[in-house]
Structure 1
Amino acid sequence: MRVGQWDMHYEDFKQIPIPLPPQEEQERIVAFLDQKTAEIDEAISKKERLIELLEEQKAMLINKAVTQGLNPDAPRNKTDSSWIDTIPSHWQVKRAKYLFREIDERSVSGEEELLSVSHLTGVTPRSEKTNVYMFMAEDYSGSKLCRPNDLVFNIMWAWMGALGVSDRVGIVSPSYGVYRQLKEGTFNNWYLEHLLRSTLYVAEYNKRSTGLHSSRLRLYSQIFLDMELGFPPREDQNKIEQETKKQVSQADAVITSVRSEIEKLAELRRSLVASVVTGKMRV
């Protein structure tokens, strides 16, 4: 036996008394638990589906707000773009190259905070990715630097919407695309990130990215900079963020409540099984 680790030999295990009800009672227990756990599992499944629907509604709400605005009755104009159909009449369409410039600033020491760029969380510290396993280099000197308000694309996963606006100084892969607004303040960061991660834009990345199949698609800088962006004045962007966040927070509150209910049902299932098989509850 090692310190901190206990071993049980078969001879010792054989000495443990195990309460065993009659066969007929065992069958009643099994039938009872099959029925009750199935009912609980069905209730959990319905609540999980409700969460999925709420998440879908959130995504649809954000997509619609950032690509069409808050007023569905606002006058709309047809654009000259081949893929952006119509936009509110006071919005504008510009190619990204007239809005951003590519930045290729490199880290000397490689000691800045390492950042990750994903389609789920945008630009976030790599240290927060506890459930993601990634090769860690010994030396990050030569990595691309990004600064607050910089737009960062993971060019290998742009077809999934892997991009975001950084809120800090950090380093990313040398192969990523880093862009800075030509006119500071043109975009609200929240609005810009959600616009570029909207289904309309992600679909266009898929069309324009180069590669033989999805796992090899790349959205290189010249491709992004040639794309058109349809967007409203900054004041409208701010309003879109405020109103959309308000509506999303309401859905999030419901999701949190439903998740709590799921946890309680799961605990009820465990408690029920334990009580019945140990004889604390007779069936």
Structure 2
Amino acid sequence: MPIPLPPIPDEQQKIADCLTSLDDLIRAEEGRLEALRAHKRGLMQRLFPAPGQTTPRLRFPEFRDAGPWEVKRLGGVFAERVERGGNRNQLLSVTMERGVVPTSDLDRRTNASSDLSNYKQVRPSDIVYNSMRMWQGASGVSKNFGLVSPAYTVVIPDDGQIPEFWGYYFKHPSSLEKFTQYSQGVTSDTWNLKFPTFSAIKMAVPPAAVEQQMIADCLTALDDLTCAQGETIEALKAHKKGLMQKLFPREVG
């Protein structure tokens, strides 16, 4: 099959150099993205106590002399939301990476029943978790009103608790270890963490809401940087795709 080629070798080289430099730029930006993700993982390890500890390795200057975090049962920090149905009919889902999102934003088919009367209500700042996947990190803070499957658990942080802090804390390896330990079932496919068991779990908690807020703000800012970096990479990839469409001839019929 004949393929149209530039008659001058220099033109081939310039096209190759152009696309190679763009590939190098994309790889460099992907390296920066991975560095941000690694930085967050390391920061999470230091901002929250290690297993068996009540004081994190890294604290903001205002709290370095504040003493250890207080150990509390989660039932003393959260209440379960039990309202069902109602007119808040936007369906929400819990994902590992994105937390609580409208189901319509996901590229997957919903198995929701047409009768939503048994679905659980969710309000902004509630924390929703997948009862069968909490040990894997399937939880998040809701930004929306909506409804979730009865298979999910919805908890309400008490006054003075910062939902975003808990959203991050529940993803920490030491927390996932506790959720694994307390999940009930014969095999991992059937493990379940309902609210009565969840409420019995003990975790170290900063006594001051302002410390919770500062931790949440720090990690949120890092997430925003990571998101922006991901968008930069996607824009570069789209630019390369468009450039290739222009640098090479269209298929001749």
Q: TM-score, normalised by structure 1?
A: 0.67
SS in 2 for 1:215: coil
Contact 2:88 2:121 in 1 (8 A): no
Contact 1:144 1:174 in 2 (8 A): yes
Q: 1:195 corresponds to which letter in structure 2?
A: Y
Match of 2:210 among 213, 216, 235: 235
Q: Structure 1 residues 273, 202: CA separation in 2 closer, same or farther (over 3 Å shift)?
A: farther
SS in 1 for 2:135: helix
Q: 2:60 corresponds to which letter in structure 1?
A: N
Q: How does 1:109-148 map to 2 (within 5 A)?
A: 109=86, 112-127=89-104, 129-148=105-124
Cross-structure match for 2:166? 192
CA shift, 1:90, in A, is: 4.2
SS in 2 for 1:174: coil
Contact 1:147 1:167 in 2 (8 A): yes
Cα displacement string for residues 216-269 of structure 1 (whole angstroms, at most 9, x for unaligned residues): 322222331111122211021122233443444445444444443343334344
Q: 2:173 corresponds to which letter in structure 1?
A: T
CA shift, 1:187, in A, is: 0.9
Cross-structure match for 1:102? 80
Match of 1:71 among 60, 63, 67: 60
Contact 1:54 1:255 in 2 (8 A): no
Q: Structure 1 residues 98, 106: CA separation in 2 closer, same or farther (over 3 Å shift)?
A: same
The alignment-based identity, stated in percent, is 24
Cross-structure match for 1:91? 69
Hey, what's the Cα distance between the residues in 1 that align with 2:237 and 2:36?
15
Q: Structure 1 residues 265, 60: CA separation in 2 closer, same or farther (over 3 Å shift)?
A: farther
Cross-structure match for 1:225? 199
CA shift, 1:95, in A, is: 0.9
Cα displacement string for residues 145-183 of structure 1 (whole angstroms, at most 9, x for unaligned residues): 2333332221122122111233443221112222234xx
Contact 1:63 1:194 in 2 (8 A): no
Cross-structure match for 1:79? none
Match of 1:55 among 31, 37, 47: 37
Cross-structure match for 1:7? none
Contact 1:47 1:262 in 2 (8 A): no
Number of corresponding residues: 243
Hey, what's the Cα distance between the residues in 1 that align with 2:15 and 2:39?
36
Q: Structure 1 residues 271, 70: CA separation in 2 closer, same or farther (over 3 Å shift)?
A: farther
The structure whose Rg is larger is 1
Q: Structure 1 residues 191, 30: CA separation in 2 closer, same or farther (over 3 Å shift)?
A: same
Hey, what's the Cα distance between the residues in 1 that align with 2:223 and 2:91?
30
Contact 2:36 2:222 in 1 (8 A): no
Hey, what's the Cα distance between the residues in 2 that align with 1:270 and 1:141?
51
Hey, what's the Cα distance between the residues in 1 that align with 2:88 and 2:123?
14
Q: Structure 1 residues 42, 247: CA separation in 2 closer, same or farther (over 3 Å shift)?
A: closer
Q: Structure 1 residues 150, 250: CA separation in 2 closer, same or farther (over 3 Å shift)?
A: closer
CA shift, 1:92, in A, is: 0.9
CA shift, 1:50, in A, is: 3.5
Cα displacement string for residues 49-80 of structure 1 (whole angstroms, at most 9, x for unaligned residues): 432332332344345335535338935xxxxx
Over the aligned positions, Cα root-mean-square deviation in angstroms equals: 3.9
Hey, what's the Cα distance between the residues in 1 that align with 2:246 and 2:150?
52
* Deviates further, 31-40 or 129-138: 31-40
* Deviates further, 197-206 or 208-217: 208-217
Q: Structure 1 residues 63, 274: CA separation in 2 closer, same or farther (over 3 Å shift)?
A: farther
SS in 2 for 1:116: strand
Hey, what's the Cα distance between the residues in 2 that align with 1:196 and 1:226?
15
Q: How does 1:143-158 map to 2 (within 5 A)?
A: 143-158=119-134
Contact 1:154 1:162 in 2 (8 A): yes
